[in-house]
Amino acid sequence: MSREEYLKALRRKLKKLPNEEIDAALEYYNEYFEEAGEENTAEVVAKLGSPALVASQILAEYAVKGLDNESSTAKKGLSAVWFIILAILASPIALPLLLLVICLVFTLVLLGGTFLLTFFLLNVSLVLSGIVSIVAGLAVITQHWQTSIFFIGIGLTASGIGILLFPPLVLVTKKISHSLAKWLKRLFDKITRRRKEGM
Protein backbone atom coordinates (compact mmCIF):
# COMPACT_ATOMS: atom_id res chain seq x y z
CA MET A 1 0.00 0.00 0.00
CA SER A 2 1.42 3.37 -0.97
CA ARG A 3 1.49 6.43 1.26
CA GLU A 4 -1.25 8.15 -0.74
CA GLU A 5 -3.52 5.10 -0.56
CA TYR A 6 -2.91 4.77 3.17
CA LEU A 7 -3.68 8.43 3.87
CA LYS A 8 -6.76 8.36 1.63
CA ALA A 9 -8.09 5.30 3.48
CA LEU A 10 -7.33 6.99 6.80
CA ARG A 11 -9.24 10.13 5.71
CA ARG A 12 -12.28 7.99 4.84
CA LYS A 13 -12.20 6.33 8.26
CA LEU A 14 -11.97 9.70 10.05
CA LYS A 15 -14.85 11.42 8.25
CA LYS A 16 -16.87 11.76 11.50
CA LEU A 17 -14.24 14.02 13.08
CA PRO A 18 -14.11 17.80 12.62
CA ASN A 19 -12.05 18.89 9.60
CA GLU A 20 -9.31 20.43 11.78
CA GLU A 21 -8.79 17.13 13.57
CA ILE A 22 -8.71 15.19 10.30
CA ASP A 23 -6.18 17.62 8.79
CA ALA A 24 -4.00 17.48 11.92
CA ALA A 25 -4.01 13.68 11.95
CA LEU A 26 -3.26 13.41 8.23
CA GLU A 27 -0.47 15.98 8.53
CA TYR A 28 1.07 14.04 11.42
CA TYR A 29 1.02 10.72 9.54
CA ASN A 30 2.21 12.38 6.32
CA GLU A 31 5.24 13.75 8.21
CA TYR A 32 5.74 10.30 9.70
CA PHE A 33 5.95 8.83 6.19
CA GLU A 34 8.28 11.64 5.01
CA GLU A 35 10.68 11.13 7.93
CA ALA A 36 10.90 7.41 7.21
CA GLY A 37 11.61 8.01 3.54
CA GLU A 38 10.00 6.72 0.37
CA GLU A 39 11.98 3.47 0.46
CA ASN A 40 10.61 2.56 3.92
CA THR A 41 6.91 3.04 3.13
CA ALA A 42 6.09 -0.66 3.46
CA GLU A 43 7.81 -0.84 6.85
CA VAL A 44 5.91 2.22 8.09
CA VAL A 45 2.59 0.74 6.95
CA ALA A 46 3.42 -2.52 8.71
CA LYS A 47 4.44 -0.67 11.88
CA LEU A 48 1.36 1.56 11.98
CA GLY A 49 -1.12 -1.17 11.15
CA SER A 50 -4.20 -0.85 9.01
CA PRO A 51 -5.84 2.55 8.46
CA ALA A 52 -8.90 1.26 10.33
CA LEU A 53 -6.77 0.52 13.40
CA VAL A 54 -5.11 3.95 13.30
CA ALA A 55 -8.51 5.61 12.80
CA SER A 56 -10.01 3.78 15.77
CA GLN A 57 -7.11 4.95 17.95
CA ILE A 58 -7.52 8.55 16.75
CA LEU A 59 -11.28 8.48 17.34
CA ALA A 60 -10.83 7.08 20.84
CA GLU A 61 -8.16 9.68 21.67
CA TYR A 62 -10.39 12.46 20.36
CA ALA A 63 -13.29 11.26 22.52
CA VAL A 64 -11.14 11.05 25.65
CA LYS A 65 -9.53 14.44 24.90
CA GLY A 66 -12.99 15.98 24.77
CA LEU A 67 -13.81 14.53 28.19
CA ASP A 68 -10.61 15.84 29.79
CA ASN A 69 -11.56 19.47 29.18
CA GLU A 70 -12.89 21.10 32.34
CA SER A 71 -15.71 22.81 30.45
CA SER A 72 -17.23 19.51 29.40
CA THR A 73 -20.99 19.46 29.08
CA ALA A 74 -23.47 16.64 28.87
CA LYS A 75 -23.57 17.07 25.10
CA LYS A 76 -19.78 16.69 24.87
CA GLY A 77 -19.94 13.64 27.11
CA LEU A 78 -22.62 12.09 24.91
CA SER A 79 -20.66 12.82 21.74
CA ALA A 80 -17.59 11.32 23.39
CA VAL A 81 -19.52 8.14 24.08
CA TRP A 82 -20.60 8.04 20.42
CA PHE A 83 -17.01 8.56 19.26
CA ILE A 84 -15.84 5.72 21.51
CA ILE A 85 -18.57 3.46 20.14
CA LEU A 86 -17.57 4.54 16.63
CA ALA A 87 -13.93 3.81 17.43
CA ILE A 88 -14.80 0.34 18.69
CA LEU A 89 -16.88 -0.38 15.62
CA ALA A 90 -14.23 1.07 13.30
CA SER A 91 -11.56 -1.18 14.72
CA PRO A 92 -10.64 -4.12 12.54
CA ILE A 93 -11.48 -6.48 15.35
CA ALA A 94 -14.88 -7.96 14.57
CA LEU A 95 -15.86 -8.61 18.18
CA PRO A 96 -18.48 -5.83 18.43
CA LEU A 97 -20.02 -6.86 15.13
CA LEU A 98 -20.05 -10.50 16.15
CA LEU A 99 -21.64 -9.63 19.48
CA LEU A 100 -24.33 -7.61 17.71
CA VAL A 101 -25.08 -10.44 15.28
CA ILE A 102 -25.28 -12.98 18.11
CA CYS A 103 -27.68 -10.76 20.08
CA LEU A 104 -29.80 -10.11 17.00
CA VAL A 105 -30.04 -13.80 16.09
CA PHE A 106 -30.83 -14.76 19.69
CA THR A 107 -33.55 -12.09 19.85
CA LEU A 108 -35.12 -13.21 16.57
CA VAL A 109 -35.10 -16.89 17.58
CA LEU A 110 -36.54 -16.01 20.98
CA LEU A 111 -39.23 -13.80 19.43
CA GLY A 112 -40.21 -16.43 16.87
CA GLY A 113 -40.20 -19.19 19.47
CA THR A 114 -42.32 -17.13 21.85
CA PHE A 115 -44.85 -16.38 19.12
CA LEU A 116 -45.10 -20.03 18.10
CA LEU A 117 -45.33 -21.24 21.69
CA THR A 118 -48.10 -18.73 22.44
CA PHE A 119 -50.05 -19.75 19.34
CA PHE A 120 -49.58 -23.45 20.16
CA LEU A 121 -50.73 -22.97 23.77
CA LEU A 122 -53.77 -21.04 22.54
CA ASN A 123 -54.74 -23.95 20.29
CA VAL A 124 -54.22 -26.55 23.00
CA SER A 125 -56.08 -24.52 25.61
CA LEU A 126 -59.03 -23.98 23.26
CA VAL A 127 -59.32 -27.70 22.54
CA LEU A 128 -58.87 -28.72 26.20
CA SER A 129 -61.29 -26.09 27.53
CA GLY A 130 -63.81 -27.22 24.92
CA ILE A 131 -63.50 -30.82 26.05
CA VAL A 132 -63.86 -29.81 29.71
CA SER A 133 -66.91 -27.69 28.84
CA ILE A 134 -68.51 -30.61 26.96
CA VAL A 135 -67.89 -32.96 29.92
CA ALA A 136 -69.33 -30.34 32.31
CA GLY A 137 -72.37 -29.96 30.07
CA LEU A 138 -72.93 -33.72 30.02
CA ALA A 139 -72.53 -33.83 33.81
CA VAL A 140 -75.39 -31.38 34.40
CA ILE A 141 -77.74 -32.65 31.68
CA THR A 142 -80.05 -34.32 34.21
CA GLN A 143 -80.23 -31.26 36.48
CA HIS A 144 -80.77 -28.42 34.00
CA TRP A 145 -80.88 -29.25 30.30
CA GLN A 146 -80.59 -25.58 29.12
CA THR A 147 -77.29 -25.10 31.00
CA SER A 148 -76.11 -28.44 29.66
CA ILE A 149 -76.79 -27.42 26.05
CA PHE A 150 -75.06 -24.06 26.67
CA PHE A 151 -71.89 -25.76 28.04
CA ILE A 152 -71.86 -28.36 25.26
CA GLY A 153 -72.30 -25.62 22.63
CA ILE A 154 -69.48 -23.52 24.10
CA GLY A 155 -67.29 -26.65 24.30
CA LEU A 156 -67.91 -27.60 20.68
CA THR A 157 -67.23 -24.01 19.54
CA ALA A 158 -63.97 -23.73 21.50
CA SER A 159 -62.77 -27.16 20.34
CA GLY A 160 -63.69 -26.36 16.74
CA ILE A 161 -61.79 -23.05 16.80
CA GLY A 162 -58.78 -24.80 18.32
CA ILE A 163 -58.86 -27.52 15.65
CA LEU A 164 -59.36 -24.98 12.84
CA LEU A 165 -56.37 -22.93 14.05
CA PHE A 166 -54.02 -25.92 14.01
CA PRO A 167 -53.24 -25.94 10.23
CA PRO A 168 -52.37 -22.19 10.26
CA LEU A 169 -50.09 -22.89 13.23
CA VAL A 170 -48.21 -25.48 11.20
CA LEU A 171 -48.05 -23.10 8.22
CA VAL A 172 -46.80 -20.17 10.34
CA THR A 173 -44.22 -22.42 12.00
CA LYS A 174 -42.87 -23.49 8.60
CA LYS A 175 -42.83 -19.90 7.29
CA ILE A 176 -41.03 -18.51 10.34
CA SER A 177 -38.44 -21.28 10.42
CA HIS A 178 -37.76 -21.01 6.66
CA SER A 179 -37.56 -17.21 6.82
CA LEU A 180 -35.19 -17.33 9.77
CA ALA A 181 -33.00 -19.92 8.05
CA LYS A 182 -32.86 -17.84 4.83
CA TRP A 183 -32.02 -14.68 6.78
CA LEU A 184 -29.25 -16.44 8.71
CA LYS A 185 -27.83 -17.83 5.46
CA ARG A 186 -27.80 -14.35 3.85
CA LEU A 187 -26.14 -12.92 6.96
CA PHE A 188 -23.53 -15.69 6.97
CA ASP A 189 -22.86 -15.14 3.24
CA LYS A 190 -22.39 -11.38 3.81
CA ILE A 191 -19.96 -11.96 6.66
CA THR A 192 -17.91 -14.54 4.76
CA ARG A 193 -17.91 -12.34 1.63
CA ARG A 194 -16.57 -9.39 3.66
CA ARG A 195 -13.88 -11.56 5.17
CA LYS A 196 -12.83 -12.78 1.72
CA GLU A 197 -12.76 -9.22 0.37
CA GLY A 198 -10.74 -8.07 3.38
CA MET A 199 -8.06 -10.67 2.77
Q: What percent of the chain is modeled with pLDDT above 90?
A: 24
Instruction: Give residue 38's pLDDT.
Output: 83
| pLDDT per residue as tens digits for the range 50-98 | 888 888 778 777 766 654 554 544 445 455 556 656 665 555 555 666 6
Residue pair 83/64 in contact by the 8 Å Cβ criterion? no
- How much is the pTM? 0.44
| Residues 6+ away with beta carbon under 8 Å from 187 | 101, 105
Confidence of residue 155 (pLDDT cuts 50, 70, 90): very high
Q: What does pLDDT average to over the chain?
A: 79
C-alpha–C-alpha distance, residues 50 and 36, integer Å: 17
Give me the numbers of helices (H) and strands (E) for the chain, helices first please: 8, 0
- Residue spans per domain, the chain: 3-90, 95-198
126 or 100, which is more confident: 126
Other CB atoms within 10 Å distance of the CB of residue 25: 22
The pLDDT assigned to 196 comes to 54
Confidence of residue 152 (pLDDT cuts 50, 70, 90): very high
For residue 110, the model assigns a pLDDT of 87
Q: Is residue 130 within 8 Å of 156, Cβ to Cβ?
A: yes
